[in-house]
Amino acid sequence: MKTITLGKSGDQPFKIKGIGVSKVHATVTIDDYGRWIIADYNSTNGTFVRNETTGELMRVGPQGMQISEMTFIVLGADNSAGCCFYAKQLINPGDYVDEHLYMLSKKQEFDKEEDKVAKNARWVRIIIFAIMLLFTIGTFVYQYGFNNGNTSSDLFTIYRGLSLLTMGASSFYDAQGKRAKIMKKRKLFSQCPNPECDRKLSNDEIENLKCGRCQK
Ligand SMILES: [Zn+2]
């Protein structure tokens, strides 16, 4: 079993950045079974870990929480103003290979989600267009084929109603809202893995597995 103290006077293998970090802020314990437990040590501004799915930061209490080597930890603020690092830095400082690969896999996950939204939005447009086309043709066939060119006002009322309805259908699939959600997740998962660098990495940097500023 091994316990690492995190904080301004902690024994983590990197310099603590962030004004909100207490002297003794939190502990990470790796037990004999290889389980990682993080616990807050009555810190002033809190200890947080990132949710793997949503990217949101969750507060860690003094009772502790099980994490993995790839858990993203933030000390002293519930945003990037805190001291941010991946748990793995505590045992393997300065090596960011796994972190970059993790960020890349997340990026690819979001790319896939975005593709799906684009595909669905395209289908919605195609279906709306097909319905409109069918009713336009139907209206003309009825008017000239069966009604000797006389306009049936009832039919046009129905036609106009359907046009509005199909237009409204496109708002049922909120592609823009879905894209905004993915964009937000991208930001939450793009923090540079180096604890001394607080940059959000661009898509290109994530693809290249390297931060442009700290070159790590
Ligand atoms: Zn960096």
Q: So where are the chain's domains?
A: 2-90, 97-207
Q: What is the pLDDT of residues 114-130, one digit of tens each?
A: 999 999 999 988 888 88
CA of 192 to the centre of ligand 1 (A): 5
User: 103 CA to middle of ligand 1, Å?
Assistant: 13
More confident residue, 15 or 140: 15
Ligand 1 centroid, distance to 58 Cα (angstroms):
23
The whole-number average pLDDT for the span 190-194 is 95
In the predicted structure, residue 111 carries a pLDDT above the cut 70: yes
What's the CATH architecture for 2-90? Sandwich (2.60)
pLDDT over 70 percentage in the chain = 95
- The contacts of residue 82 (CB under 8 Å, 6+ apart) are 18, 20, 21, 45, 48, 74, 75, 76
> How many A from CA of 25 to the centre of ligand 1?
24
Whole-number Å distance, alpha carbon 113 to ligand 1 midpoint, is 26
String of DSSP letters for 90-143: GTSTT--HHHHHHHHHHHHHHHHHHHHHHHHHHHHHHHHHHHHHHHHHHHHHII
pLDDT of residue 66: 97
In angstroms and rounded to an integer, the radius of gyration of the C-alpha atoms of the chain is 27
pLDDT-based confidence at residue 153 (cuts at 50, 70, 90): low
pLDDT bin (cut points 50, 70, 90) of residue 19 is: confident
pLDDT of 210 above 90: yes
The CA distance from 215 to 207, in Å, is: 14
Give, as residue ranges, everything with CB less than 5 Å from ion ligand 1: 192, 194, 197, 211, 213-214
Q: Please, which pLDDT band fits residue 105 given cuts at 50, 70 and 90?
A: very high
3-class secondary-structure state, position 177: helix
Contact of 88 with 98, CB cutoff 8 Å: yes
Tokens 């002033």: give the residue: 44
Which band of pLDDT confidence, cut at 50, 70 and 90, is reported for residue 151?
A: low
Q: Letter for the amino acid at 2?
A: K
Q: Tell me how far the alpha carbon of residue 205 lies from the centroid of ligand 1, in angstroms.
A: 10
Ligand 1: distance of its center to the CA of 142 in Å? 67
Question: What confidence score (pLDDT) does residue 129 get?
Answer: 84
More confident residue, 134 or 10: 10
Mean pLDDT within 90-118: 96
Task: Write the DSSP string, 43-76.
Answer: -SS-EEEE-TTT--EEEE-TT-EEE-TT-EEEES
Question: Mind listing the pLDDT tens digit for each residue in 28-81?
Answer: 999 999 999 999 999 999 999 999 999 999 999 999 999 999 999 999 999 888
Structure confidence at residue 63 (pLDDT): 97
Structure tokens at 65: 């929480």
The answer, yes or no, to whether residue 86 has pLDDT greater than 90, is: yes
pLDDT at 188: 95
Rounded to two decimals, the pTM is 0.84
Q: Give the Cα separation of 21 and 48 in Å (integer).
A: 12
Shortest CA distance to 18 belongs to which of 212, 199, 195, 205?
A: 195
Q: At what angle do helices 153-172 and 97-141 cross, to 10 degrees?
A: 180
